[in-house]
Structure 1
Amino acid sequence: MTTAHSPIRVGIIGVGNWARHGHLRVLTLLPQYHLQAVYSERRERAEAAASEYAISQVADSVDALVNNPEVDLVVVLNTAPQHEKTVRAAIAAGKDVYCEWPLTTTTADSEHLLHLAKDAGVRHIVGLQRRHAPHNRYLQDLLQQGYVGKVRSVRMHVSMNYFQALRPNALRWTAPEENFSSVIAIYAGHFLDMLFTATGWPVKVSGLMVNQFPKVTIKETGEVLDSTAPDQLVLSGMLEDGGVISIHIEGGKRNGSGVQIDITGDQGDLKISNRSAFGDVGDDYVIEGAHGDNLPLQALPLPASYERLPESTLPSAVLELAELYYVYAQDVVDGSHGAATFEDAVRLHRLLDAARDGHRTPLK
């Protein structure tokens, strides 16, 4: 059992690319955590992770890991179609549980997990880490402090080079729509949550999803797969106070990809940009603004008070993940609920359902 003075003992389920690139490095960086146990369907991956990150226990099964009395927090990092069953097992074992986004492949399954977690009285966290990033907390404060006045419009464009018609074998599971693992399910989910945490959530939307890559070729083998998953999302709508939103998210952009956000208010403007939608070392968000009329945008450097992680050389996308773990560790100590939860995941599922269905109002 963890206390305010002991690290949270973590059991990892799934040792894929993001687990290795992100979670294991973050949990090693933060002193609030201790990597206790690991499980993978491919035992050699679990053993390699255990060796590299000094994890003392390699579990033989999901059930063995979730029922391990030395594990406080189960972290679910296998593929999206496996999440529901794995999270359910953790909840049944009475364990606090972190699950990557997407929580599950359907809204109904995610709603069911939320109910199970509430009934069991366990803490639940979903991997929507971008809302907790320093730039987004700063943006939220600027808006709440009235930097732009009343928000009149919000425009966001997010694009990335990958998720093209030619994909590595590691992304073959993104092609079937039923896996809910497309660029829209994953990236739109992350960026919509990030944006609306800062601006407030829309009360009505109209959306369009398009698949422009109906055939996907696997780079390593030349195998051609049918792809039914969308790779473009166009979303328009309205915020509660009347601000208009316009959002375009697309995969497979050959050049000039990244993130551009423009927020127009009745007293000023903000622009948020990043050359990368994922974020390597040095791919940091730039916030520019002007408060007044017909003025040039000026850089608004991130105040040092928004930095709270230990020094490291980790990529910016990985540091965003560290922010979520930082907030959750503080929640455990304080009894607070700052980290993104299954409730946030369900709200995001419903928003994406509305976009897929074309039009749904209201969203509340």
Structure 2
Amino acid sequence: MAERLGVGIVGLSAQGGWAARSHLPALRGLEQFEVRGFTGSSPESVRVTADHYGIDRGFTDPGELARQEDIDLVVVTVKARAHAEQLKSILPAGKPVFCEWPFCRDVTEARDILALFEAAGARTAIGLQARHSPQVRFVRDLVAEGEIGGILSTTLVTSIPYWGSTAGSRDAYLLDGANGSTLVSIPVGHTLDGLEFALGEITQLSATTAVRQPHVVHRETHETLLKTTPDQVAIHGLLRGGIVFSFHCRGGVNSRTSAFFWEINGTRGDITLRSPCGELQYNEPEILLTRADGAPKPVAAPARYRGAVPDALGPEPRSVAHTYLRVFDDLATGSCLVPDFSRAVRHRELIDMIERAGRTGACQSV
């Protein structure tokens, strides 16, 4: 494998968005990668974006981008509702693909895409970046080393400002569950993957979901929009080994105390994570370690967990950069540090179970 991987970004825009905010600065901050092309929605958009970011090659067709000889990795950053179409266009090139989470619009579409990529033998990665954060990896190791004894239970409460009583042109699509980008699929999905990575997979769950703020005012046009997806999600159940978990995600809430609170209770102590940011996928929470007979003490993830990710990057690109370093290792060594499309489908199935449990009130076995 080349010392530097040539990357093509599907969905980069000079108008901003997740690719511009996180993927591009992350890639430019890592010496292992070089951005060599991108796609935009129109020839005019491509021209403006190329000039804005100083990237020579832009395309409107993801397939054409993927066919370029010096593109080693194709990164799909468009909204979930466009994943299937873009991924089908990329597949014939046979290049490794890194796709953002949430994966496709729903579990059926995700299974169809997985079948195509498995049949082609393509290498895939999914952007569930919470598990790659230094804090989550450090907590996972503390738990595995028995730092607080056997794990009894865990409680996680988080507040998200989106999915509330207002929305703008860039986030109004989040109100419609048919687009696949919901409170359950995005912040709940990311956070639960981090929780499972640290403590073990969910084996049983029950859920309560509600739309507490159904009428949403558009911030620019002032028209009233209808929200069709839950803005309150409460889940409880069991993790592998019988660990009891409880998780409440509060949409449209700017917490007046802590937007993120995660406590892990063990037989010999507790681990607490807290932060003013409610989304674990680009969070850098404070970690407190409490022995059974002592007071909470701050502990920090050692420098080895941060690796080569530059401190100068902001929290969002830092979180993505940690994922990219593991993508690089996977492609160089054949390891499987980053979840692939198979794991993405399993996680989509978990999201489907949560939504079904919220509708029916029935306990779900995972």
TM-score bucket of the superposed structures, by smaller chain: over 0.9
- With 354-363 and 16-25 compared, the bigger mean Cα shift is at 354-363
Residues 280, 315 of structure 1: 8 Å contact kept = no
Spell out, residue by residue over 1:68-98, the C-alpha distance to the aligned partner (whole angstroms, 9 max, x if none). Answer: 2332211111111101111122123212111
Q: How many pairs are equivalent? A: 358
Q: Does 1:8 align with 2:9?
A: no
Q: CA deviation at 1:210?
A: 1.3
Give the corresponding residue for 1:140.
140
The one-letter code of the counterpart of 2:301 is L
Deviation at 1:149, TM superposition (A): 1.3
Instruction: Establish whether residue 362 from structure 1 lines up as the match of residue 365 from structure 2.
Output: yes
Structure 2 letter corresponding to 1:108 = T
1:78 is paired with a residue of what secondary structure? coil
Runs of 4 or more above 4 Å deviation: 278-281
1:115 Cα deviation after fit: 2.1
Distance 1:361 1:225, change over 3 A: closer
Partners of 1:285 and 1:271 lie apart in 2 by 9
Sort the Cα spacing of 1:66 and 1:362 in 2 relative to 1 into closer, same or farther, 3 A.
same
DSSP-derived class of the 2:248 partner: strand
Q: Distance between the aligned counterparts of 1:197 and 1:21, measured in 2?
A: 26
Counterpart position of 2:224: 224
Gaps of 5+ in 1: none
Bigger drift between 323-332 and 42-51 goes to: 42-51
Which one is further off, 56-65 or 131-140?
A: 56-65
Residue 269 of structure 2 corresponds to: 268
* 1:72 paired residue number: 72
Aligned to 2:47: 47
Asked if structure 2 preserves the Cα contact closer than 8 Å seen for 1:36 and 1:56, the reply is yes
Q: 2:129 matched to which residue of 1?
A: 129
Equivalent positions of 1:330-345 (< 5 A) are 330-345=329-344
In structure 1, the residue matched to 2:60 is 60
Q: What is the match of residue 259 of structure 1?
A: 260
Q: How does 1:1-364 map to 2 (within 5 A)?
A: 3-5=1-3, 7-15=4-12, 16-256=16-256, 258-278=259-279, 284-291=284-291, 293-358=292-357, 359-363=362-366
Secondary structure at the counterpart of residue 250 of structure 2: strand
Residue 317 of structure 1 and its aligned partner are, at CA, apart by: 2.5
What is the TM-score with the length of structure 2 in the denominator? 0.93
- Secondary structure class of the residue paired with 1:170: coil
The structural deviation recorded for 1:63 is 2.7
CA distance in 1, matches of 2:325, 2:43: 29
1:158–1:42 CA distance, 2 compared to 1 (3 A): farther
Letter in 1 for 2:59: A
The answer to whether the 8 A contact 2:309-2:321 is kept is no
Q: TM-score, normalised by structure 1?
A: 0.93
Which digits, 9 at most, give the CA deviation of each residue in 1:185-219, with x for residues without a partner? Answer: 21111111111111011111111221122222210
Q: How far did residue 178 of structure 1 move?
A: 0.8
Tell me which amino acid in the other structure corresponds to 1:321: V
CA RMSD of superposed structures (Å)? 1.9
